[in-house]
Amino acid sequence: MRVLLWIICSIWEVIYKNMINARYLNGSKHRLLRVAYRRYKGKEKELNGQLIKKGDLIAELHLSNLALYRYNDHKSPEWALYRDAISELHLLSENIKTNNKPITALCGITLLTPAVVRLGFSVEEIRPGLWASINYVWLRFIRIAFTPKKTSRLKELDTKRRPVEFWMPAEQFTERF
């Protein structure tokens, strides 16, 4: 069952990331992070003193779930993934600094709330409804398909986590990374 879920999630990831034009970073060694640049369509929001308005260019971050499978063989997969993710964030920061289009903010959706908070992103709950439910189910499928088997305590923690949006102004991101 898990293998079938992995195949389905892998196929859908390739299709979806191509539909939204999410691309790996130029010069990426790890091919762990994909970025889709899009115009912000939501209500105005303030992030650490910076106003994000409709039409502003934002970078939507997507972790490559297919790349996560490589970390199963590491002695400490979490640390190897963290090290490579930080390397990708530094590369993204350099890309943003040299990009001729001004990026206003970075955002994404995740179940890994503690990790994105430690990296300095602010998090917002996704309003309950169909979109939140779809994200919860999809992210749960991804966790089951792409992560190593876990103890029942960790599985219980995973089911309690809800997807959140994470945000950071581009200026703060480039200073931090």
Q: Could you identify the residue written with the tokens 């949006």? A: 165
Domain boundaries, the chain: 2-176
Question: Using the 8-state DSSP alphabet, how is residue 69 labeled?
Answer: G
Residue 42: alpha-carbon gap to chain centroid: 19
Number of separate helices (H) and strands (E) present in the chain: 7, 8
Percent pLDDT > 70 in the chain is: 89
pLDDT at 149: 59
pLDDT (tens digit per residue) in 19-77: 899 999 989 988 999 999 999 998 999 988 889 999 999 999 998 888 877 777 767 77
d(C-alpha 23, C-alpha 36), whole Å:
6
Of 98, 125, 94, 19, the residue nearest 62 (C-alpha): 19
Q: What are phi and psi of 8, to 5 degrees?
A: -60, -50
pLDDT at 154: 47
Output helix, strand, coil percentages for the chain, rounded to the nearest 5.
Answer: 50, 20, 30
pLDDT at 110 over 90: no
- The domain made up of 2-176 has a fold known as Aminopeptidase (3.40.630)
Confidence (pTM):
0.83
- Kindly report the number of other CB atoms within 10 A of residue 107's CB atom: 19
d(C-alpha 100, C-alpha 59), whole Å:
14
Q: Could you identify the residue written with the tokens 């503690």? A: 114
pLDDT at 158: 56
Name the H helices within 20-129: 65-68, 77-98, 113-118
